[in-house]
Amino acid sequence: MKKQVTVSAPGKLMLLGEHAVVYNRPCIVTAVGQRLSVTLEIISEKRLELEAEDVGVTGYSKSLTDLGLGDISKGAKFVEMAVKNFNEKYKINSGIRIKTKSEFSSQFGFGSSSASTVCVIKGLAVIFDIKLSNKDIFNLAYQTVLDIQGKGSGFDVAAAIYGGTLYFVTGGKVIEPIEIKELPLVVGYTGIKADTVTLIQAVAEKASRHPDLIDSIYMHIGKMVEATKVAFMAKTLPVVGELMNFDQGMLEALGVGSAKLSAMIYAARDAGAWGAKLSGAGIGDCMIALTPTNKVVDVEEAITRSGGQVIKVQTNVEGVRVEK
């Protein structure tokens, strides 16, 4: 048993398959170089102590027996429920001090909640010498996300654990690496924080009014994801870009586009990107543009002129790992 460990996991960007992946369709997601790290330390008192300054949580303390009960600070929810679920499954029954530190803002929609959940579960497994496979970590982390959000596909959990670029089907039914040497993405942040749960609910309400139409959209998004997987394997990035543009049209039909996203997306396309679309829940957060190397500067400048903030990201990076 170790006294202390630091674990880190990457953020993520959805390439194709948003919204449809909640309803048993595939998606493609890539892990990004900005990482979230969590330091865990055993303490004598049977409490959870949490410092997560990035999300405004300081001096948070709760008895192990009270985890998941009463008021839970928004920034503490995922860490607290991860500790609770791990404790219930593996009976660690030991106090733990946790400190989180992120290289990216939780505003970006890079999946900080899932990354922190994964780090906590991996860290607890290391400290208490419990052998967990990546799928074991996925199952526990995904359950934690469902306990809090009620709905979700788990793709961001998978990206944090496995890293790289993944072909993923709802709930982890398929988690398959896609071998990609390069993924030249330009990322633009809208400056608007998207509320994933609210947007998923809004689309679900639309589906209740037009079930056949929305299911047809999900079916077509699924076909685009399958075609993108083939295009990646064939290394035909212009085709991937074209499929991204198709997918953006479907997301607009679902009602999760916005004027700000559209301005950035069309600016990127006009400046030479192979394809551009929103990434994530929609309305805000980020857009992505798959861009030839010789057009990157033009696309970045176009996104900036359209009111976006360019975020430098490395893609296709390593998943969860022990740092020290």
Q: What is the set of active-site residues? A: 156
CA distances from 29 to 58, 176, 275, 280 (A): 32, 11, 16, 10
Six-digit token pair at 27? 């998606």
d(CA 239, CA 241): 5
What interhelical angle do 134-149 and 112-127 show, nearest 10?
Answer: 130
CA 300 and chain centroid, separation: 23
Integer CA distances (angstroms), 285 to 122, 189, 280, 309, in order: 28, 6, 7, 11
Rounded Cα gap, residues 151 and 136, in angstroms? 20
> Is the CB of residue 226 less than 8 Å from the CB of residue 26?
yes
Residue closest to 215 by CA, chosen among 13, 45, 8, 25? 25
Single-letter amino acid code for the residue at 28: I
- Gap between the Cα atoms of 131 and 143, Å rounded: 19
Tokens 């219930």 found at: 88
Question: Where are the extended beta strands (E) located within the chain?
Answer: 4-16, 26-43, 47-52, 57-63, 95-102, 165-169, 174-177, 185-189, 275-279, 286-290, 309-311, 321-322
